[in-house]
Amino acid sequence: MSQRIVCFGELLLRLSAPGRERLLQTPGLEVHIGGAEANVAVSLARFGHDAAVISTVADNALGEAAVAELRRYGVDTRHVRAVPGRMGLYFLSHGALHRPSEVLYDRADSAFARANDYDWEALLQGAAWLHLSGVSPALGAATAQATIDAARAARRLGVKVSFDGNFRGKLWQTWNGDAAAILRQIFAEADLLFADHRDIAVVLGESARAEGEHAVAEAAGHAFAAFPHLQWLASTLRTQHSVDRHTLSAVLASRDGSWHRAPDYELETIVDRIGTGDAFAAGVMHGLVEGMKPDELLHFGLGAACLKHSLPGDFNLVAREEVQALVSQAGFHVRR
């Protein structure tokens, strides 16, 4: 069994309009389970890792369904506790052409958002990595503190910290949270950051006017200077030609000054882009845990992200062999 990776974050129900419809255009919604950090755990479990989720769900049928869905894909859910309260929801309508996708959150005061009493020393026992994201601290003071506590405990215990910026402006606005001050404390504990120039600008109080690879490279330099524990910074590079046609690449920077860029992938008819950043994060972590070389692990992460664009739902339900086949250009023939 490979190294244990634990992911801390909220489990959510996604209620989405069918196809490309607007919300409630017809009276039906599709249900998927999501949550940025849980998405990473599912991907890692699919790649064969010992992946666990630490979370708090409502002690009702919705909480049970969310936990059951993680178990179905091999995620360890022993540290997901159920308490009285409500599950967080998000509504989604997929965009198309020139109409962007829209997310409507209904998650205020969820069981997860209220909780901050985690015994991190116990929960992190045996873990090699802790994965966190910017969604949890954006929910409110309790989860912001829980995320900071988790990152600090991990560092004390020698557990590596992975943090995905996942900036959610709508969530920060609901409670006027000081994103810069809170995220800075988490960035300070991270060994691995998934962040671009915009995430770094928020934390370092800079303005992020420029775009593209150079903007990320410059911001990465500032992040390595500001945060001495930081070893790697990875980011996707996305050019959007329309809502469902993108060019995707990715970059990886290391503390030793090396810079890697993966090839461009053309995504012509995107099925679902939610969770693609999480798929990238899981792919990069898989590569690091497996000891892949930087170019190889970056390409694997990008391949995983590309494949997620083909799948409805938040989870990237692909095996490592499928990602390998894509990055080694095995072609698109029907497998039979």
Residue ranges that bind ligand KDG, judged by CB under 6 A:
12, 34-36, 39, 90, 135, 166, 168, 274-275, 277-278, 314
Query: x/- string (CB under 6 A) for ligand ATP, residues 196-215?
Result: x-xx--x-------------
Cβ closest to ligand ATP, residue 208 vs residue 325: 208
Q: Does 169 bind ligand ATP (CB under 6 A)?
A: yes
Report residue 156 CA to chain centroid gap.
Answer: 23
Residues assigned a catalytic role = 278
DSSP 145-198: HHHHHHHHHHHHHT-EEEEE----HHHHHHHT--HHHHHHHHHTT-SEEE--HH
Site size toward ligand ATP, by CB under 6 A:
16
Cβ closest to ligand KDG, residue 36 vs residue 204: 36
Q: Looking at the chain, which runs of residues are DSSP E strands?
A: 4-8, 12-16, 30-34, 50-58, 80-83, 88-93, 102-106, 127-133, 160-164, 192-194, 232-242, 245-254, 259-261, 265-267
> In this chain, which stretch among 58-66, 155-163, 192-200, 289-297 interacts with ligand ATP, using CB under 6 A?
192-200
User: Nearest distance from residue 197's CB to ligand ATP, in Å?
Assistant: 8
Cβ closest to ligand KDG, residue 275 vs residue 294: 275
| Contact status, residue 226 vs residue 204, Cβ threshold 8 Å | yes
User: Nearest distance from residue 103's CB to ligand KDG, in Å?
Assistant: 6
Q: Which of 238, 267, 232 is nearest to 250 (CA)?
A: 238
| Contact status, residue 132 vs residue 159, Cβ threshold 8 Å | no
User: Nearest distance from residue 319's CB to ligand KDG, in Å?
Assistant: 21
Report residue 189 CA to chain centroid gap.
Answer: 17
User: Nearest distance from residue 1's CB to ligand KDG, in Å?
Assistant: 27
* Residues 40, 186, 169: CA angle, nearest 5 degrees: 70
Binding residues among 235-274 for ligand ATP as defined by CB under 6 A? 236, 238, 274
Q: Is 254 helix (H, G, I), strand (E, B) or coil?
A: strand
Binding residues among 273-292 for ligand ATP as defined by CB under 6 A? 274-278
> In this chain, which stretch among 117-125, 139-147, 162-170, 212-220 interacts with ligand ATP, using CB under 6 A?
162-170
Which residues of the shown chain bind ligand ATP in the complex (CB under 6 A)?
Answer: 165-167, 169, 195-196, 198-199, 202, 236, 238, 274-278
